[in-house]
Structure 1
Amino acid sequence: MIKKRISYYWLCQCVGWSAFILLFIFFYITLHTQETPFIYHVLVLEAGIGFIVTHVMRFFIKSYKIVDKPVNEQVFYIFFISILFALIYAAIGTTLEQVLEIEAPRQKPINLLNKIMRASMGCFMFILIWNMIYFAYHYILKTRQAQLDKIRLESLVKELELKTIKAHINPHFIFNALNSIRALIDENPGRARNAITELSNILRSSMQAEKVETVPFEKELDIVKDYLALEYIRFEDRLKIEYQIDEDTLDQPVPPMMLQTLVENAIKHGIGKQIGGGVVKVVSDFKENFHELVVLNTGYLNGHIQEGDGFGLFSTKNRLQLLFGEKANFEIKQVGSDLVEARILIPVEIK
């Protein structure tokens, strides 16, 4: 059987009012100059009354949901409640001390109302401190919960954005690839079978892209090689393919289908628009604390990137920012008279 753990509230109540008794006993023992009759009885009685009064006050606070009100209103209620319950605390304590005849003797007699007003001043300080601790605790709790909710919301938005982006990453070359494969069936059956396998690998990777945020670069590179092998069937000698890969980068995490998207963009907007074809070069290397991925292709940017260039470049920027933050970088620019460069920098975790 699992025992129910005592709540923080009851624990703080017990510890707080016990500390109240011990603190006053300590000061009495160390600082008193004359004996005070019934001092221990009075302390236990006041602590007990304080325990009950503050609990009733907490019920009042919860009933009117004061901790949920704006902070400026809470300040008003803290003082109002402290005054009200200090008077109640003082009235009960003073009356019981008089009834039980354990009050300290006085040189001059004081009527009950004056005793209550004097006692309420001290009670006010204790009640005010109790309220400040109680409201501060709930303020911190609400702030922390708001931060957690914000983090969860940002995480959910990030996840939804990634899923939205991934949902749009579907190879546009499928129909061209199928047409090329159909042409190969009679001409070169063996190459046609290989082409079907390559296309299958790409489609499988595209579907798996929705399930993971990153994959090893080696896996992404294999997909790019399959893709370029399929495109070579269509372009033949018009397409020249080059790789410059640092083997140490093969295990680095990259967003799935991202490099393939850039290579596809290079084929569609670069090689596909050149009568004489051109080159597509894939480079992977380390640059300081970054994994650098570069896709070079023959083609032109005409001085700017048009919005009509498609979803690929937009998705690349957004995925990098969502996954790696501001440290990651993506840019595409003209680096020669007929050469376009797409460059990605992904921060490398230093182990």
Structure 2
Amino acid sequence: MSQVNHRGFAPVVFLTALIAMLAVPALTLAADPSGEWLGKAKNADGDEFEITLSLEKVTGGWAATLTDETIGDVELTDILVTGNSISFRYQPQGVPFPAHFLGTYDPEEDQLAGTFAIRGSSRFVKFKRISGGDMPVAAQTEPKEPVRIRHDYRLGLNGRLSYWGAPHTVKDETYNLNDVTSGAGGNLDGAVYLYIQDGFCLYGRVYRGGLNFTDDPDKLGQWDEMGISSESYLTLDGWDLGIRGFLGNKVFPKSNFNPYLIGGMGKVNWELNATGRGSEVLSIERTPLEGSDWVFNAGIGCEYELSQKLQLEFEWLWRYFRTEDDVLWADVDRNWSHTHAWVFSFGASYGLF
């Protein structure tokens, strides 16, 4: 009886040991990709050249360099080694945009292969080990695809053409001069962009704009003595400082469309002209309707990438001009107040460096 039990017990022990061995995580079975690797790639002319990849396990992660015959040693960044997958970012000094490598290490064949991708083009490279490779690598999740870089520069310029609409809030059909303006096209502005991050930039903008006046005689009749007519023009020229935050990598990661939010403030030089921009400035009780005041803005827009440095831009902006002054124009009828404008614009921006 005891012999039967003994014979039955041996296979159980063997199976238990086998299951335990199979259950050991991959880190005890996988070789280590650390060491030196030699690869061959082709340049734009089709000529083959050698590159050397050095991977080293350090405290808290990995360190790596890539060496070729023309550029020399380049320290790699964003290095991620998870399981048998390897990714990193390669950007030599002076090169405006980086290449991203995504590859796989084969522990059985002790080989490393992957693809260098840069702005839509890619090159496949196989590496052969030169030295190293003793430490285990923990098997984890696959590395994430590198985040798309949309603004591979710090400084950009922008120019645009805009149409200014005239929003009004009128109660009980009681109008003042700011409620009888109308939309005007052909307005211009230009901006400088400073990209703090790929998805965030500061901007400085100058603009040349304004609003026309309605051609409704019933609304304009009460200001005949002032000289207000359908030919009058409210000149609004100024500058803004503000911020833009881009949402493209969150909502459209694979699209060339890159929506953004925008907000800012600045100063406006304004005047109410009798018969168009640059003409006589009209007055209320002998006080000219002109000044320099604060302006605030907020809106939404969208870029569309045409090339690495060139984007089209569409923008919808609300501007609030603090043109009212109860001391200068304190007439009984309150003929003058603050000014609002909707700005619909289209233009292009170009990245410099």
With the length of structure 2 as denominator, give the TM-score of the two structures.
0.23
More helix by share: 1
Question: Which has the larger Rg?
Answer: 1
Between the two structures, name the one with larger relative contact order (CA 8 Å, sep ≥ 6).
2
